[in-house]
A and B are shown apart, each in its own frame.
Chain A
Amino acid sequence: MTQLQENPNLTSTPPAKMELPSEPWWRFFTFSTDHKVIGIQYLVTTFFFYLVGGALATAVRAELATPEADFLGFERYNGAFTVHATIMIFLWIVPALVGGFGNYLVPLMIGARDMAFPKLNAVAFWMIPPTGILLLVSLLVEAPAAGWTSYPPLSLISGKVGEELWILSILLGGTSSILAAVNFFVTILKMRMPGMKLEDMPLFCWAMLATSVLTLIATPVLAGALILLSFDLLAGTAFFNPSGGGDPVVYQHMFWFYSHPAVYIMILPVFGMISEILPVHARKPIFAYKAIAYSSLAICFLGLIVWAHHMFTSGTPDWMRVFFMIATMAIAVPTGIKVFSWLATLWGGKIRFTSAMLFGMGFVSMFVIGGLSGIILASVPLDIHVHDTYFVVAHLHYVLFGGSVFGIYAGLYHWFPKMTGRMLNEFWGRVHFLLTFVGFNMCFLPMHKLGLMGMPRRVAQYDPQFADLNWISSVGAFILAISTLPFLFNAIYSWVAGRKAGDNPWEALSLEWMTTSPPPHQNFYGEPILLTGPYDYGTHSKETLDYFAAQLQTLRELALMETEAPHS
């Protein structure tokens, strides 16, 4: 804080009203190489797909409201849940987290002007719309119907056109995510501002580093599997086709070698975001920074050697079942470290119940349930009973919805002011949270029991003994469908006419808040300075914030003078 005393005039500058010329709105529709534009492009595009995936989910739950297959019918039902899951994973969670938040936040958080390869970044984004179009076209032509896992031989006989469209779509999406991962990896390692060590980075950047490593190692294997599947499908080869001597289980290995790490690709960035959001709104440093950072790396490593826990009933040999059980259970330790550290971060804080914080705490609460059911799934004898049942559907939604989606919402409420310069309405934020929380638990909690009692997943028709719990679940799904409305209208209205946010409405300390909202094209006026760690709440944070605010004001004046100089 010595600089503070040396520059007393900085702290006392009165805030002057002034607007820097904002960039044109249509930049969002161009091949922009600005990581902030790309981040927002990702977020808006993927949210659109979320709504489509959600509509399909609602149709699936409508079918399941009663035991008979009387709403969608058998064939269309399989298409609906297949496309639902594919959209949710490959067009919502992954691109929203990595492409959306990753792009927007990483360069700002490490004090960089942009990503390492801006053009590549734009290319990666522009592969997302065709990915989605291919998938949506498949819905109209012939929906892929073999589940998002697309196991052969079923995937080889359930419709060539739909299946091939599905494969092409995933290949395109996978390529996009590999390109993005290369970019993040290099950016985080090479583009940090001078003086910022890895251990000075916000935890979100650690999470993105681990995510990129996972993507780079795992995604090519999925691509390989899908290309081979394509050959089987179109050229009549028999890599996975038993009628030609192929082995369908090999596909399962290749598929899960990617898709298990993929679940960490879908949750590690959320871990990172939660580690940013909780300290700000609890006004406390993150508890155990190093443990959280390194547990991300531990999860990254362990996540690569647990894939066969999805195959405990696939006829895998005993030693494999045992190995993958132990490895899977081991992940509970680094995951537990994170959860307990978040709790300790809240403990003794001064918690501000903003919508971001509600979703953040909701995340911790819901994710723990998904983690506990995950431990049950890790145990071979227990999994043998619950595998491929509604218990799994419950588990995966507690992790993906209660985890990832709650986390994304927390992130949207938290960073919306930075991205748009305007606040989201807090009242409607609370309504949104309440509806989501109630609808979510009503929809997915009963599924645990359904699965344990004997209801398999991916069925359009089920035993009438399961009617009551399914009915509750479907009502929950409709509440969830409705819950997106307050958010949608809030976001649209606030973006246009919301209250002005100011540069740092949450009084946060990480670098992205040390610039204007929205930040200028070059991210920072002048060189960004690292005066404080990202989590130094409680120690001079007020002075630091005042200092930064004043400094930003001065820099803004300078920038304004520069832009006005040529005109006057």
Chain B
Amino acid sequence: MSALNNIILVAVGILLTVASIWYGQNHHLLPASAADSAPLFDSLFNSTITVATGIFLIVQGVLIYSAIRYRKRRGDEGDGAPDHGNVLLEIVWTAVPAIIILWLGVASLDVYQAINSGVDAGGHAHSGMAMAMEESSYEAKDPSYAYTPVVVSGGEVGQPDLVVQVQGMQYAWVFTYPESGLVASELHLPLNKRVRLDMTALDVNHAFWVPQFRLKQDVIPGRETHLEFVPSKLGEYPIVCAELCGPYHGVMGGQLFVDTPEAFASWQEEQILAARSDGSTLALAPEVQPESAFAKAQHHRLGIPEDIHVLHRQFGSQSSG
């Protein structure tokens, strides 16, 4: 190989590296981040995009180069070189991807553990099992769907500052604050406090997803699943149902508000007052409309108040005006 070739090769290599690193930082593919663990996700995602861009450029580059350089010329009916393989080359392109995925595997494991446990929230100890789940209190007779502490083998339960019970149903989310007994259709959370969601579904599978938190967890009937995080930025974020749950799956959304601790406290008080004057404990979104007989039976079994259907219909007609 001539010196010129070497120079070209090195130059291409540098260009490729620069382009990959640049794109890894400037892809604009993610929404703003608003949870403590989201930056961990973002940096892993950016590194992965960097590596992926490099591989993408190499493969497409070789493909295009070959297409141009090794195209059949007019009148040439011959064959290419009878080249059956090259052991060294084969070892390289087995080993390099192996190393890359080893790196990605280890990095992913790191980030996964950190997302689950490493968040510092006022000096509490947290186990690595924040998302573990077990049989829920589903079978319990208690109609209020009481919170049962999760006991997970291999680590003690985390100590969140706030626990919220989340119920998914066709096509709405219901949030219960066990401490105050408040039931709401919006999720309000205090800034920089560690929150655990204890989630279950009343009818079919749903999934609780907040894109700005980079967190998602299926919400499954007959089970309790968990999500634990620390909201780190004030604002309003969408809660998206990410698991197909029926025809209106696409409109099953919710609102998540990250408030200052003061605003959070006053919101809670307001809601409780409002609910009392209303004579109900429920503040449900207008679109709650359990459709199926199955869902109704489920709601009944789970002790959702009989008047829920009436209630949110009233609520719906009020708020739609």
Q: Please list the residues of chain A having a beta carbon within 8 angstroms of any beta carbon in chain B.
A: 69, 74-75, 77-78, 145-147, 151, 153-154, 156-158, 242-243, 245-249, 282-285, 287-291, 313-315, 317-318, 321-322, 325-326, 329-330, 332-333, 336-337, 339-341, 343-344, 346-353, 361, 364-365, 368-369, 372, 375-376, 379-382, 384-385, 387-389, 448-449, 452-454, 456-463, 535-539, 541-542
Contacts and interface: CB of A to CB of B under 8 A. Distances in A.
Contacts of B203: 153, 157
A368 B59 contact: yes
B70 A453 contact: no
Given A315-B220, A343-B63, A347-B66, A537 B101 contact: no
B168 interface: no
B81 interface: yes
Contact of A146 (B80, B100, B138, B244): B244
Interface in B221-258: 221-223, 225, 238, 240-251
Interface in B89-124: 89-90, 93-94, 97-98, 100-101, 104-105, 108-109, 111-112, 115-116
B80 A153 contact: no
Interface stretch (B128-136, B189-197, B306-314): B128-136
A248 B59 contact: no
B289 interface: no
B104 A243 contact: no
B159 interface: no
B218 to A, nearest CB: 5
B79 A541 contact: yes
A452 B29 contact: yes
Given A157-B203, A459-B249, 17 more contacts: A78-B244, A78-B249, A153-B204, A154-B245, A242-B220, A288-B85, A314-B218, A318-B128, A325-B105, A337-B93, A343-B59, A375-B52, A379-B105, A381-B108, A388-B244, A449-B29, A537-B79
Contact of B244 (A147, A343, A353): A147
B214 A364 contact: no
Contact of A315 (B115, B223, B240): B223
Contacts of B248: 74
B292 interface: yes
B41 interface: yes
B22 interface: no
A156 B293 CA distance: 12
Given A337-B94, A361-B63, A361-B67, A454 B238 contact: yes
Given A78-B247, A154-B245, A375-B52, A315 B67 contact: no
Contacts of A456: 209, 240-242, 249-250
Contacts of B260: none
6 nearest interchain CB pairs? Answer: A459-B250, A242-B222, A538-B82, A454-B211, A284-B80, A349-B80
Contact of A388 (B31, B55, B207): B207
A47 B239 CA distance: 41
A217 to B, nearest CB: 25
B101 A385 contact: no
Contact of B70 (A350, A461, A462, A463): A350
A74 B112 contact: no
A249 B220 contact: yes
Contacts of A541: 79
Nearest to B245: A154
B109 A248 contact: no
B267 interface: no
B221 A248 contact: yes
Contacts of A154: 204-205, 244-246
Contacts of A353: 67, 71-72
B83 A284 contact: yes
B85 A291 contact: yes
Given A249-B220, A283-B80, A318-B132, A291 B90 contact: yes
